[in-house]
Structures are given as C-alpha cells and as structure tokens.
Structure 1
Amino acid sequence: MTLIILMIAGAALFAYWNAARAAAEHAKQLGRNACSAAEVLWLDESVHASGIRVRRGEDGRLGFERNFRFEYSYDGVDRHVGRMVLRGERLVSFVGPVRPSVAPINLH
C-alpha cells in the first residue's frame, strides 16, 4: 500500500516538474521572439519563474497560471524587465519591449 502511494506521489511530482519545464521553455521562446521583433537585446537569454497560482481556464477547469520575467536592453547599457503570464500553454499577459514607431500626423 505504501509503495503505491509513493509511486503516485512520484508520478504527480514528475508531471508537475515536466509541465513547469515545458512552460519555461515556451516562455523562453516567447521572450526571445518578442525581443527579436522589437529589435532589442535579450539579456541573459533566459526567463525566470516569478510566481504560480491556480486559476480557472476559459473552459472552467483548474490549472496553473505561471508568471515569468526576463530582461532586455535597447542599447546594451540599460536594463528593462519584461513580464509574461502563461495559463497552461496560452499567453494571457505580456509587458515588454515594443518596436518604436512614429505615427504620421495628418494636418488636414
């Protein structure tokens, strides 16, 4: 009986760890792509988990919402912090670099 409980606990821990790693890899890819699109430097080439909580998804089922942060620089000297929130594999919030643009002014 104890062996079965230990096996179930081990499988649950492995599943949690595996999902956390997959979310971190996905966040890493999103951060890299955002920095590339905004033409900024992605510093340290990594993301850092900054929080986790249980939330309901759009389908009503419980799941984990993971918060990640990363750092980027416009000129290689300054450092800015970007943040993203993943609910499962879905990006639900992103604050980070944007590509600078100038909107034309219509004087008519």
Structure 2
Amino acid sequence: MSSLPLLLMIAVAIGLALWNSARAAAERAETLGREACRAANVQWLDQSVHATGIRLRRGRNGWLGFERSFRFDYSRDGSDRHVGRLVLRGGELVSFSGPLPEYETLH
C-alpha cells in the first residue's frame, strides 16, 4: 500500500493552512492601514496592502511564528504619495510607520 496519497493530503492541508494564515494577516493589515489613514484624515491609496516580507520570529510566549511585513500608500492632499509600513506577528501589530492621527489643538 502506497503512502503517497496520505503524504499528498498532508502537504495540501499544510499549504491551505499557510495560505489561510497569510490571508488573515493581510486582512488584518488592511484594516489597520485603513484605520490609521482614517484617524490621520489622509487618503488611503490603492485600497490594499502589499506583503513585503515574512520571517520566523519568537512571540511573547516563546513559540516560533510568522512575522509578516506589509506596505500601503497614502496621500495627504491627493497630489502626493507616501508609504506606510506595518509588521504583524501573528495578529499583533509590532511595528508601524505611517500617518499619525490628527489631534485637535487647544485654543
């Protein structure tokens, strides 16, 4: 009896799990980028984030997991273009550079 079908099913299951976690991270990054742009009152461009890197890192609990980097573009006045970056470890935001929230000034 060949174990090839079993190995193939395991490989497919691992591939689907990795794809699913990558999609979940991209959706989380998209939400965080959109919310940051809204809070800073800037225009979020291209309506998406772009994955720029992935690596294995230890989380707070000591377990190895994926750390994924993303970039997004935003504009302050519609004629400029800036790059925002964020890093997720699991679903947790560990690094962010981009538009800062607008705060009302006290008079």
Q: What interval of TM-score do these two structures reach, taking the shorter chain for normalisation?
A: over 0.9
Gaps of at least 5 residues in structure 1 are none
Percent identity of equivalent pairs: 62
TM-score, length-scaled by structure 1? 0.92
- State the match for 1:44 in structure 2: 46
> Partner residue of 1:90?
92
- Match in the other structure for 1:29: 31
**Distance of 1:18 and 1:101 partners within structure 2:** 37
2:66 paired residue number: 64
In structure 2, what is the Cα distance between the partners aligned to 1:31 and 1:44?
12
Select 1:53's aligned residue among 52, 55, 66.
55
Deviating 4+ runs (over 2 angstroms): 99-104
Q: For 2:41, what is the secondary structure of its paired residue?
A: coil
What secondary structure sits across from 1:58 in the alignment?
A: coil
CA distance in 2: counterparts of 1:94 and 1:5, whole angstroms: 40
- For 2:36, what is the secondary structure of its paired residue? helix
- Secondary structure at the counterpart of residue 98 of structure 1: coil
Return the alpha-carbon distance in structure 2 between the equivalents of residues 37 and 103 of structure 1.
Answer: 15
Measured in 2, the distance between the counterparts of 1:102 and 1:58 equals 35
Shift of 1:13: 0.2
What's the offset of the Cα at 1:99? 3.1
Q: Deviations over 1:15-37 (max 9, x none)?
A: 00000000000000000000000
**Consecutive unaligned residues in structure 2, runs of 5 or more:** none
Partner of 2:26, secondary structure, is helix
